[in-house]
Amino acid sequence: MIFSIVTIFPLLIEACLQDGIVARARKQGKVEIETVNLRDFTSDRHRTTDDRPFGGGAGMVMTPEPLSLAVQKSCRQQVRDRRVILLSPQGRRFDQETATTLAREQQLILVCGRYEGVDERFRSRYVDEEISVGDFILSGGELPALMVVDGVTRLLPGVLGCSDSAANDTFSSSLLKHPQYTRPRVFEDMEVPEILFSGDHRRIEEYRFIESVRRTKERRPDLLEKAAASFTEQEKRLLEAHGLKAQTG
């Protein structure tokens, strides 16, 4: 996978890629990440990347020429499966399914928006897909682009070791994680649930499943609705015995 990140803040991007799983994958050559400085594609003395909106109004708009030149320069010749992605509040929400789909591409060109947005003509001619990371206001697309790099990179072959592997529990994908404990056995007068020392792995899995459902119901009922569709009859009985009614049929 090649990521090309078009931005006016290449140092911000590089700073975030110095540590962690993505940095390791990059050093090992499992992913290539290049930052493309948008200002290198300007032609005026002040290296301008934005201008006032036609029709008036507050805020500035990113001009199309530097963006198009930066994207064209970033396109690798040998690559066949490539997508140009604009990070913008108008995009579709980034989720795990999107990450999985994007992980199949050979190159992702991530364009970080700034100011009030980009000129529509750049968007319509060069952008394949717009992505948002959630319903809150950020000051630009750089942090969202890093989220896409992180979420996609950890899905690439050989990037995760088996210990931090994607799916450990049977229900890990659809429910929130159950409470977890490690040493010490007593911390500030709080003990670890006894069941976890029982050695009875079937009952431990049941306990974890119940706690996962409890948390998901409390915090993310939207997730539980989807997950409940694939609960087995045995799981439904177990939940009912613990006062947790399965949401759907």
Under the rule (CB under 6 A), what is the footprint of ligand 9D3? 87-89, 113, 116-117, 132-134, 136-141, 144
Least distance CB 95 / ligand 9D3 (angstroms): 13
Nearer to ligand 9D3, 62 or 227 (CB): 62
**CA angle, corner 143, sides to 138 and 146, nearest 5?**
155
Q: Is 65 a known active-site residue?
A: no
For the chain, helix (H) and strand (E) counts, in that order, are 9, 9
Q: Is residue 184 reached through a cis peptide bond, with omega within 30 degrees of 0 on the bond before it?
A: yes
Pairing of strands 107-112, 82-93: parallel
Q: Is 169 a known active-site residue?
A: yes
Nearer to ligand 9D3, 25 or 118 (CB): 118
Among the options 26, 123, 154, 208, which is catalytic?
154
Among the options 34, 116, 129, 205, which is catalytic?
116
Nearer to ligand 9D3, 59 or 221 (CB): 59
Cα distance between residue 218 and residue 209, in whole Å: 14
What Rg do the C-alpha atoms of the chain give, in angstroms?
23
Q: Is 24 a known active-site residue?
A: no
Cα distance between residue 245 and residue 228, in whole Å: 10
Among the options 89, 205, 206, 215, which is catalytic?
89
Least distance CB 142 / ligand 9D3 (angstroms): 8
Nearer to ligand 9D3, 17 or 144 (CB): 144
Least distance CB 154 / ligand 9D3 (angstroms): 20
Least distance CB 199 / ligand 9D3 (angstroms): 46
145 contacts 87 by C-beta, under 8 angstroms:
yes
Q: Is 14 a known active-site residue?
A: no
Considering only CA atoms, which of 163, 171, 159 is closest in space to residue 209? 171
Among all residues, which ones are annotated catalytic?
A: 89, 116, 154, 169
